[in-house]
Structure 1
């Protein structure tokens, strides 16, 4: 049974196999120099994710997350208020710590709370995915596409944030409203036999927290590979069992997505289609950014359209809205689902996120044009 578990796990990784097949097919049909594959692979991004996975696993294994969960639940009265608190924390953290770091902190906490109460974990994971896409929209450092566009536009930090404020406000109001409507109105019900707020290893928790802070700092200054290497070596020496519990297949999935979508975005056919469009028209740019994000994810869509648009903030609006909809519209969606590890997560995300995009897109466009 134990020997078959890895094989079973691999068979379930259909997203990995899908994008690996796409990357392989494109490599055979449209061979490219090795330098292009290295560029598409986005090694700094993968290294950053690896470092975050390592640090968060250490925090989980230390018992700090379970301790925090017991403290939060003890002060909560209703599922709606608890859910709104988690959604608000996710959105606020995404403005200063980026969307993926926010999820790596909040989703494990949500899982721990769900283990000792009646909090609907999968619903919360979907809401937290929506929240990071909305919250990170406001900040120039909230997500990779904003960081890229902010640096490209050379706008002052506050000017960029001010341009995105109406957009983020609409998104956050929609997420908060949906949270209140979707979560049950019942009180939080605790399972006392499951509550264990003890910290298993204060030392592991302390240096895992320090490792997380150091990793975020190194990512901010462009040294993610160094940070991931240091954390890998540290945990190999001091907490090897934590390394064994990390979801390494998540990194392989992202690598396959980066290779497949990066290559697809640079196909001559795709480039010719883009050459026919007038991105100087606001509605054309807005619609194109959303559609491109749905097809190839919002970060590759940003790279694809960056040199074709005269207005970097307009493109930022489009690709941030494009993070809603299909799961691959934003990699944060996949991170939230993967961390939650709940059955039927992808189906529920699409049942929520697709209608959310259809409601959000026109409202954001009207707010952006009205305030612009």
Structure 2
């Protein structure tokens, strides 16, 4: 083994700094998890619980299948088809936002992002588009759209089961919240995107990337349908095993292009925030009072994300449907408010996306939260 010379040490430190610059969230949540583990040791079983292996395995299955679809070339073809038939940037933005919201109702917020964001990035290669801004609005759209559906996001699924309501009954309770969110979002899209005509630009690189690979496209598309079905049936381990086996045998190069660091980021986030949720003082907050519950759920979502906030508050909340409205509103604001926000920004991948997301999402929360409260009080 060669000796560690000063040059080697400097090289290693330089690589580490570069890695941490690229993976800031992984570094933050990793340090949080490590600090809490040292300051407040808990039984190993709790750490396994916080890790949420089914969610990580489901995310792995989605990452691989969507990367397969992207590598097949059909996303690029769909992007060009869409761009050719959409006359203005504003029209395209409205189309993508509405599609994101609708897909989130049917396929959950994270699955819809895995479909829409790669399409948007591919569109950016076909026309001069503000891709980062479009993806930010798609993240907001899936948070709004998933609010209406009992299966649209994890917190809704949990609270739907606890509420005892039918699916239509659950949706009816959340309809006012969803309506306010979507109306605000569409109004903001109208003002944030101008009506300029789209101009296509096809380079040799984008043309080469768009060459279709039918076997890969068909396999990945069928696997995506199977994965969604397995995940809705709570068979994440089977979904991950199937996808990894198929791609390891047939399309191994796709596995090398998957963003595995995103999985590591979520693992660190689940452990760190799960531990933090256990030590936050939420008892005795007066959650029986509607106003306190509403504010507490939104505020806590900004600290530990809306799914852990739901788990933490559900036992002390007498009004389950008000809690559902509040934690869905809490998905806006800071990026950590909803895992969908982080997934969207990571899939888009450009620098500075989190800061720009906050410049749009935080004011959106500050307007949306009081409006939703007023509407809920009015319809009560």
Normalised by the length of structure 1, the TM-score is: 0.96
In the other structure, the counterpart of 1:340 is 348
| Residue 141 (structure 2) pairs with residue 131 (structure 1) | yes
Q: 1:232 to 1:6 in 2, by over 3 A?
A: farther
Whichever of the two has the greater Rg, that structure is 2
Map 1:1-372 to 2 at 5 A.
8-193=18-203, 196=207, 198-267=210-279, 270=280, 273-372=281-380
- Secondary structure in 1 aligned to 2:87? coil
The gaps in structure 2 that reach 5 residues or longer are 1-11
2:113 touches 2:343 (CA, 8 Å); kept in 1?
yes
- Secondary structure in 2 aligned to 1:192? coil
Return the offset for 1:8.
2.9
- Secondary structure in 2 aligned to 1:77? coil
The gaps in structure 1 that reach 5 residues or longer are none
**After superposition, what is the alpha-carbon deviation per residue over 1:21-69, rounded to whole angstroms, capped at 9, x for unaligned?**
1101111111111110011011111111100000000001100100100
Which whole-Å CA distance do the structure 2 matches of 1:203 and 1:155 have between them?
A: 44
RMSD: 1.5
2:290 touches 2:319 (CA, 8 Å); kept in 1?
no
Which whole-Å CA distance do the structure 2 matches of 1:348 and 1:198 have between them?
A: 30
Which whole-Å CA distance do the structure 2 matches of 1:47 and 1:230 have between them?
A: 11
Which whole-Å CA distance do the structure 2 matches of 1:198 and 1:115 have between them?
A: 11
2:93 touches 2:189 (CA, 8 Å); kept in 1?
yes
Normalised by the length of structure 2, the TM-score is: 0.94
Return the offset for 1:192.
3.3
Which whole-Å CA distance do the structure 1 matches of 2:210 and 2:278 have between them?
A: 52
Which whole-Å CA distance do the structure 1 matches of 2:15 and 2:62 have between them?
A: 25
Which whole-Å CA distance do the structure 2 matches of 1:192 and 1:338 have between them?
A: 25
Return the offset for 1:199.
4.2
Which whole-Å CA distance do the structure 1 matches of 2:260 and 2:295 have between them?
A: 35
